[in-house]
């Protein structure tokens, strides 16, 4: 059954979401964000403690890349804390925002990565058959904001295949439609990836520091500091373009560019490559704890400095 001592399957995560919506039915709703190529519904949880929070919503996504299992584990952990923590800081944060949380953005790929074949464990992309030879597009290169502006490939056999057209991937198209219904209400959009221990700032398509970069950089530094305090885990902070690589067509760039969402971060969780995507289950809880510390700090410091 579901827990943070090991990695959960798509079905276990969905059952867990349903259970939360039943247990906390006054504040939690199971939502259907979109659908994947293979016909799976992309489920999320909406958490709302007050109708007054409608214009300070937070959107969270994880496992847009299938093999990055630690990301949905951390996001479900954070969700559980928002629902059950008695810590006053966490309660205040939870109850002063509306939350849209989608732990598995790429259910087809995620399910595929859970098959027993070793090769499949490293699956990253969608499962759309774009060519006879190779399946899938990179769902974090497929979004319609400066799509095909660097850091992508037009070859279906690469890991960064952008797809034939913007939003060719049903999961991206449908989640973009869903995000559009709440886009103007968002104060924050946080996406979770692994690995390499970074807190990334938009954009990936340009080296320019746009919108509120200075504030978001400072908030990011303080959040990375908070993260390090628990177990000493070191994170780097900077734009996607500058500290990893140029990458266009990501969900985070799309949200930032289309809605000018004030707080947009992408986490690259543990580790630095020792285990990489195969982070041992013993590290789930420590990774989640330190990530939660930084996550809370993002909001505290943003409201403190802005």
Q: Which residues are catalytic?
A: 268
Check the CA dihedral 136-7-93-243 and report its sign: negative
Q: Does 136 bind ligand 0X9 (CB under 6 A)?
A: no
* Shortest CB 96 distance to ligand 0X9, Å: 25
201, 216 contact by CB (below 8 A): yes
107 binds, among Zn ion, ligand 0X9, none (CB under 5 to 8 A by kind): none
Q: Which of 42, 190, 226, 247 binds ligand 0X9 (CB under 6 A)?
A: 247
| CA terminus-to-terminus distance, the chain | 42
Taking the CA atoms of the chain, what radius of gyration do you get in angstroms? 18
Contact between 290 and ligand 0X9 by CB under 6 A: the answer reads: no
The angle subtended at Cα 281 by Cα 275 and Cα 285, nearest 5°, is 110
CA 305 from centroid of its chain's CA atoms: 24
From 141, 193, 222, 256, residue interacting with Zn ion (rule: CB under 5 A): 193
Using CB under 6 A, pick the residue from 193, 197, 284, 299 that binds ligand 0X9.
Answer: 193
Site string for ligand 0X9, 16-55 (x = CB under 6 A): ----------------------------------------
Distance CA 100, CA 47 (A): 7
Give 266 or 294: the residue with its C-beta nearer to ligand 0X9: 266
The SS3 assignment for 281 reads helix
Please count the other Cβ atoms lying within 10 Å of the Cβ belonging to residue 256.
24
d(CA 223, CA 128): 37
Alpha carbons 22 and 305: distance in angstroms, whole number: 38
Tokens matching residue 268: 């690259």
* Residue placing its CB nearer to ligand 0X9 in the complex, 90 or 151: 151
Q: Which stretch binds Zn ion (CB under 5 A): 58-66, 163-171, 183-191, 247-255?
A: 58-66
Q: Which of 156, 163, 170, 202 binds ligand 0X9 (CB under 6 A)?
A: 202
Scanning the structure block, which residue is given the tokens 């190779």?
134
- State how far the alpha carbon of 230 is from the alpha carbons of 37, 233, 270, 286, 288, in Å: 40, 8, 14, 9, 11
Sign of CA dihedral 298, 84, 278, 152: negative
Binding status of residue 263 toward ligand 0X9 by CB under 6 A: no
By CB under 6 A, tell whether 204 contacts ligand 0X9: yes
Nearest alpha carbon to residue 79 among 1, 37, 17 = 17
Provide the 3-class DSSP secondary structure of residue 31: strand
Binding mask 208-237 for ligand 0X9 (x = CB under 6 A): ------------------------------
Applying CB under 6 A, the site for ligand 0X9 has a residue count of 15
Q: Binding Zn ion by CB under 5 A: which of 10, 34, 36, 65?
A: 65
From candidates 200, 237, 279, 292, binder to ligand 0X9 by CB under 6 A: 200
- Where does this chain touch ligand 0X9 (CB under 6 A) — which range of 7-15, 28-36, 99-107, 199-207? 199-207
Residue 168 CA to residue 210 CA, distance in Å, equals: 27
Token pair listed for 263:
């707080």
Chosen residue from 82, 93, 190, 240 binding ligand 0X9 by CB under 6 A? 240
253 vs 290 by CB, closer to ligand 0X9 = 253
Tokens coding 185: 């209400």
Tell whether residue 142 is a contact of ligand 0X9 (CB under 6 A).
Answer: no
Interaction site with ligand 0X9 (CB under 6 A): 65, 68, 140, 193, 200, 202, 204, 240, 244, 247, 250, 252-253, 266, 268
Interaction site with Zn ion (CB under 5 A): 65, 193
């Amino acid at each position: 059954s579901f827990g943070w001592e090991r990695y959960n399957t798509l079905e276990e995560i969905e059952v867990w979401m349903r259970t939360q919506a039943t247990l906390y039915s006054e504040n939690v709703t199971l939502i259907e964000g979109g659908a994947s190529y293979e016909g799976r519904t992309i489920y999320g949880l909406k958490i709302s403690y007050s109708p007054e929070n409608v214009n300070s919503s937070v959107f969270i996504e994880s496992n847009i890349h299938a093999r990055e299992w630690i990301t949905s584990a951390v996001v479900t952990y954070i969700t559980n804390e928002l629902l059950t923590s008695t810590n006053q800081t966490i309660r205040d944060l939870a109850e002063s925002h509306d939350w849209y949380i989608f732990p598995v953005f790429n259910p087809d790929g995620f399910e595929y990565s859970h098959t027993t074949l070793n090769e499949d464990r490293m699956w990253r992309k969608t499962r759309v058959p774009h060519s006879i030879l190779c399946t899938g597009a990179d769902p974090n290169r497929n979004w319609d904001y400066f799509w095909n502006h660097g850091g992508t490939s037009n070859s279906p056999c690469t890991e960064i295949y952008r797809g034939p057209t913007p939003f060719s991937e049903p999961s991206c198209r449908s989640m973009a439609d869903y995000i559009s219904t709440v886009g103007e209400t968002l104060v924050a959009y946080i996406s979770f990836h692994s690995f390499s221990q970074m807190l990334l700032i938009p954009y990936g398509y340009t080296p320019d520091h746009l919108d509120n970069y200075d504030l978001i950089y400072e908030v990011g530094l303080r959040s990375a500091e908070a993260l390090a305090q628990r177990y000493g885990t070191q994170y780097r902070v900077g734009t996607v373009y500058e500290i990893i690589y140029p990458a266009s067509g990501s969900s985070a760039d799309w949200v930032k560019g289309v809605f000018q969402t004030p707080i947009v971060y992408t986490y690259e969780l543990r580790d630095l490559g020792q285990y990489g995507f195969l982070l041992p289950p013993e590290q789930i809880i420590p990774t989640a704890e330190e990530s939660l510390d930084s996550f809370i700090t993002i909001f505290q410091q943003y409201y403190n400095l802005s």
